[in-house]
Amino acid sequence: MPHFEEFYAAKLRGSLGLTDAESVLDLRGTNRPTAEASLKDMLERSRFGKGKTVAIRLDPPPEGGGETLFQPAGRLLLDAKKRGLIDRLQTLPAQDGLGFYVALTGKPARAPE
């Protein structure tokens, strides 16, 4: 079996989902302000602990279409990725429902003095 870089090995294994995450943030049934507050709290707390992976679950679109938390949550998470708080951001695989798989950076290691 040839050796692959982690990125390509993950592609062969498929998307990371609920069973791969260390914890799950279930935002199904919450309104937008509550969901945004929960995401911001998760990101703020991650700055002081070790990095971990989180599956974020969202409600699917209502029957006949309509607004979901996917876009507002995605924007907030993408902004956190740009600020260096998230190492990996991807959508959950279809079998896990609507949401995101996030690898939080965590507290940076201190350089020895």
State the residue for tokens 């935002």.
27
Please report whether residue 9 resides in a domain. no
Structure letter (DSSP) for residue 13: H
CB atoms under 10 Å from CB of 75, counted, come to 11
Please report whether residue 2 resides in a domain. no
Average pLDDT, the chain: 86
The domain total for the chain is 1
pTM comes to: 0.80
State the residue for tokens 């679109």.
61
Please report whether residue 34 resides in a domain. yes
Structural domain including 47 reads 16-102
Indicate which CATH number applies to the domain containing 81.
3.30.1370
Please determine, for residue 102, whether its predicted confidence score (pLDDT) is greater than 90. Answer: yes
DSSP 35-87: HHHHHHHHHHHHTTSB--EEEEE-PPPPTT----SHHHHHHHHHHHHHTTSEE
With 0-12 CB in 10 A as exposed, 13-18 as middle and 19+ as buried, what is 10? middle
pLDDT digit string, tens, across residues 58-95: 998 888 877 889 999 999 999 999 999 999 999 988 88
Q: What percent of the chain is predicted at pLDDT more than 70?
A: 84
